[in-house]
Structure 1
Amino acid sequence: MDIILDLVQYFVDLGAAVMLPIVIFVVAICLGQSVGKAIKSGISIGIGFIGIGLVISLMLNNLAPAAQAMSANFGISMNLIDIGWPGSSPMTWASKIALVAIPVAIIVNLVMIALKLTRVVNIDIWNIWHFAFTGAIVNIATDSYMLGIAAVAVHAAFAYKIGDWFAPTTEKYFGLEGIAMPHGTTGTFAPVAVFMDGILSRIPVIKDIDFNPTHLQKRFGVICDPAIMGAIMGVVIGILAGYDVRGILSLGIQMAAVIVLMPVVVKYIMGGLMPISEVARAKLQKKFKNSKFYIGLDCALLLGDPVVVTASLLFIPITIIIAALVPGNQILPFGDLPTIGFFIAMAVGVHGGNLFRTLITGCVVMFITIWVANQMIGLHTVLAANAGQLTSAAAQVISLDQGGNPVTYIITQILSCTNVLGLAAVGIFYLICVVCTVIWSKKQYASMDD
């Protein structure tokens, strides 16, 4: 048993850029693709993830220091730095829940498919770490391994339903036919976008505002070209950070590079995944006649959308401001700033590419994220300590991605009841968002059938 667990741990430790190509290769072979095509798909995905890593590193290495400088310039004092998902995922995989989480999530998926409770066939194995994180936190909060495993199953089941509900958006707006995003971050915040879209659609004047970069480019010409907008945002952030002329111009060019390169590297992931998803869907639909299936993939596929990239850059300074406004906040957004696109990607689709609505929804999302993350500092720190990742006994650890996840918080509070008022506030709001999403999703499917 220990040998098997060691092998699984070794496989997980390879990281997404190596682990996913291997998974895709095996899946492709099982689906009957030739070895050559399977290898090509796997390598293409690996290239895409390496590319995304490089672009995110470019953002992290240049935007994170600018964000800290902005905070200092405006007198924003926060004593705990967000370590981001790159810090949280390794400590999650090091937990005793993580290795069991993979088979649990797969079994939940298979059972739901058999019972016709979902049409999502999830092959995004790496991002099972989101469900594992929930399980690990529940295990720490309740001191019950079985409740931790139950939490993994509940979060996984909910994520697959999220994939179902938003598959029409993934298909209609992002053009990814037969693809779903049962993702622990992008999917979690998608219902908030539905609720906010319903509210904004009923407010006079506001409901008619549509800032779409594509529309703006047609109207205002080259000034709204994505590369130029990226450069302008980089320059503005540099000015707010108090950089000198050289620093400001450098940051402008770097952000222009980010907004242009992100769609390019995402194409490699799509090039590897789309042939697999098409074959998988065809075989499933042949086996289960009159059934349509969606292949669950990483939401990195959504990051190539220009509105998603634009909103991601705008949320660098916005998130710092929001952090200063959250009551009692101790966290300085840092590690997850370059990956805010994961938080708001589906909101872009729900709002039909309307940047104005995306920014409003994103503000709500980031406020909730930062507030929840503050409530999770203690549990997150224990998770880090168990993984041997604390620098000192007095150190504290938190991340916005998963640490600020409302689904993780709600599940943990239901099972531990340490903050009833917090559970009521977040739980009731999120429940309303989910109910709105179920109703909204039925209309989306109906419009697809017309």
Structure 2
Amino acid sequence: MAVIQTIINLGAAVMMPIIFFILGIIFGLKPSKAFKAGMLVGIGFTGVNMVINLLLTNLGPASKAMVTQMGLKLTVVDTGWPTASTIGWGTPIMPVLVVSFLVLNALMLVFKLTKTVDIDIFNYWIFLLLGAVIYAATNSFWLAVVMTLIVFGITLVVADLTAPYVQKQYNLKGISFPHLTCLAWVPFGIVGNWICEKIPGLNKIKMDPETIQKRFGVLGEPLTLGFLLGLAIGIMAHFPITKIISLAINVAAAMYLLPKMIDVLVSGLVIVRDQVEGQLKKWFPKREFYIGMDTALLIGEPSVLASGLILIPIAIVLAFILPGNKVLPFVDLASLMFLLALITPFAHRNMLRMIVSGTLVLICIMYVGTSIAPFYTKAAVQSGIAVPNGIKYMTNFIGSATTWIGWVLTEIGLMLKPLL
């Protein structure tokens, strides 16, 4: 656990190059080529993180200003995914679960129950967060462990099932995304797409990036779209003109640079993936394997970024109008595009359909967040996180506990609690 924790503390930009270098050596790459592949992955992750941080740093204050302008005062506050990841890695059940995840993945591969080799260890926090909330709700160490392991195993299987669609849409051969936060919303993408197909007129509207660019020329390019969305968000935040223009340029920069940084990352990934794929075909000629990665690889898609930006004001309005909602969108507002990463292939990159699906996702998150807030907050305290002054309950948007799966498992845990 000390070794694993040390590697995790290095962050994805350092951890992933090490993992890819080791994978390359194991599967027969020359050390020089394995080093190059690992470095490209590391440089790509560093670039992706820099651009995402640029986006979040600029969108964060704007999102919070929009909340202030609406005068929202709700009792359950979104404290963001960084706090959620700290809860996950700090939960008392973490050591048992992390080792169990590695063992379970290996066993499922041996017994041909999954094709996915989940090397995205940094994002284990997503599963750990779910376990932490179940543990807080039930006070049962082993029930939380068992339920979380079941979800982990199911996630690997679902990652296999969605991989062909994602690979085709994003041109990422041999990659899957065992990312519970994003996979949980795939059914919402399917439902949202179905709703749009059944509404006359709406089913004729095409809003994929290529159609928009073809119709509007330079005005439809991602960088222009980012600039216009940045202007709109800055105006809704009541920023002064200088801050509005600065926000618009930074959002445009993120829309333009993020795909280029992801291309660097993928170029390193492809070197190792091709070697691994070739070697595995020799060792296991009748089997197929996927490398499990972080959905950060998908955020550079223009339709994902643009739709995520549009969801920011929608989330604030929903918080205001939904009856019974107690969740105040706050820190994770700037990260809403992550909710759309795996919806995109099922909405055919049509931003209208992605926004419809995203709206359904937001409604679900707010009601689930309202329901599990006491347990989420208790999990934070059990992980050594103090509840900020002036906040009654905590929650987040980009996590596992506030998905419909998190709510169902928490409710099952509460039903089983009297039997323990």
Q: TM-score, normalization: structure 2?
A: 0.92
Alpha-carbon offset, residue 355 of structure 1: 0.8
- Secondary structure in 2 aligned to 1:295? strand
- Secondary structure in 2 aligned to 1:64? helix
Q: Match for residue 270 of structure 1?
A: 266
- Checking the alignment, whether the CA contact within 8 Å between 1:56 and 1:338 is kept in structure 2 is no
Q: What are the Cα deviations for residues 315-366 of structure 1, in whole angstroms up to 9, with x where unaligned?
A: 2222222222333333322222222221111111111111111110010011
Q: Match for residue 325 of structure 1?
A: 321
Q: Match for residue 241 of structure 1?
A: 237
Q: 2:13 aligns with which of 17, 25, 28?
A: 17
Q: Is 1:399–2:399 an aligned residue pair?
A: no
Alpha-carbon offset, residue 392 of structure 1: 5.6
Separation of aligned partners in 1, 2:17 and 2:95: 19
Separation of aligned partners in 1, 2:332 and 2:105: 28
Q: 1:169 aligns with which of 143, 165, 185?
A: 165
Separation of aligned partners in 1, 2:251 and 2:76: 26
Q: Please say which of residues 395-404 and 347-356 is displaced more in the overlay.
A: 395-404
Alpha-carbon offset, residue 84 of structure 1: 1.6
Structure 2: gaps (5+ residues): none
- Secondary structure in 2 aligned to 1:121? strand
Alpha-carbon offset, residue 391 of structure 1: 4.8
Separation of aligned partners in 2, 1:338 and 1:52: 15
Q: Match for residue 102 of structure 1?
A: 98
- Checking the alignment, whether the CA contact within 8 Å between 1:92 and 1:98 is kept in structure 2 is yes
Separation of aligned partners in 2, 1:418 and 1:250: 53
Alpha-carbon offset, residue 221 of structure 1: 0.8
Change (3 A) 1:286 1:57: same
- Secondary structure in 2 aligned to 1:8? helix
Q: Is 1:42–2:26 an aligned residue pair?
A: no
Q: What are the Cα deviations for residues 244-279 of structure 1, in whole angstroms up to 9, with x where unaligned?
A: 211211111111111112112222321222222222
Q: 2:361 aligns with which of 361, 365, 373?
A: 365
Q: 2:150 aligns with which of 148, 154, 159?
A: 154
Separation of aligned partners in 2, 1:20 and 1:96: 26
Change (3 A) 1:247 1:174: same
State the AA in 1 paired with 2:382: N
Q: 1:214 aligns with which of 210, 227, 241?
A: 210
- Checking the alignment, whether the CA contact within 8 Å between 2:77 and 2:327 is kept in structure 1 is yes
- Checking the alignment, whether the CA contact within 8 Å between 2:63 and 2:334 is kept in structure 1 is no
Change (3 A) 1:261 1:418: farther
Q: 2:408 aligns with which of 399, 407, 410?
A: 410
- Secondary structure in 1 aligned to 2:291? strand
State the AA in 2 paired with 1:134: L
Change (3 A) 1:415 1:80: closer
Task: Give 1:276-295 correspondences, 5 Å limit.
Answer: 276-295=272-291
Q: What are the Cα deviations for residues 86-140 of structure 1, in whole angstroms up to 9, with x where unaligned?
A: 1211221122222332222222222323333222222222122211222222222
Separation of aligned partners in 1, 2:130 and 2:73: 29
Task: Give 1:34-433 correspondences, 5 Å limit.
Answer: 34-391=30-387, 395=391, 396-402=393-399, 403-417=401-415
Change (3 A) 1:74 1:135: closer
Structure 1: gaps (5+ residues): 420-450
- Checking the alignment, whether the CA contact within 8 Å between 1:192 and 1:361 is kept in structure 2 is yes
Q: Please say which of residues 219-228 and 62-71 is displaced more in the overlay.
A: 62-71
- Checking the alignment, whether the CA contact within 8 Å between 1:162 and 1:181 is kept in structure 2 is no
Separation of aligned partners in 1, 2:111 and 2:75: 48
Alpha-carbon offset, residue 393 of structure 1: 8.1
Q: What are the Cα deviations for residues 196-230 of structure 1, in whole angstroms up to 9, with x where unaligned?
A: 22333233222222111211111221111111111
- Secondary structure in 1 aligned to 2:331? coil
Change (3 A) 1:20 1:317: same
Q: What are the Cα deviations for residues 165-192 of structure 1, in whole angstroms up to 9, with x where unaligned?
A: 2112112111111211111212111122
Separation of aligned partners in 2, 1:47 and 1:128: 22
Separation of aligned partners in 2, 1:320 and 1:28: 46
Change (3 A) 1:393 1:215: closer
Separation of aligned partners in 2, 1:327 and 1:42: 50
Structure 1 residue ranges, 4+ long, deviating more than 4 angstroms after superposition: 391-395
- Checking the alignment, whether the CA contact within 8 Å between 1:84 and 1:335 is kept in structure 2 is yes
Q: Which has the higher contact order (CA 8 A, sep 6+)?
A: 2
Change (3 A) 1:105 1:418: closer
CA RMSD in angstroms comes to 2.1
- Checking the alignment, whether the CA contact within 8 Å between 1:281 and 1:295 is kept in structure 2 is no
Change (3 A) 1:341 1:250: same
- Checking the alignment, whether the CA contact within 8 Å between 2:234 and 2:247 is kept in structure 1 is yes
Q: TM-score, normalization: structure 1?
A: 0.86
Separation of aligned partners in 2, 1:321 and 1:45: 39
Separation of aligned partners in 2, 1:137 and 1:198: 33
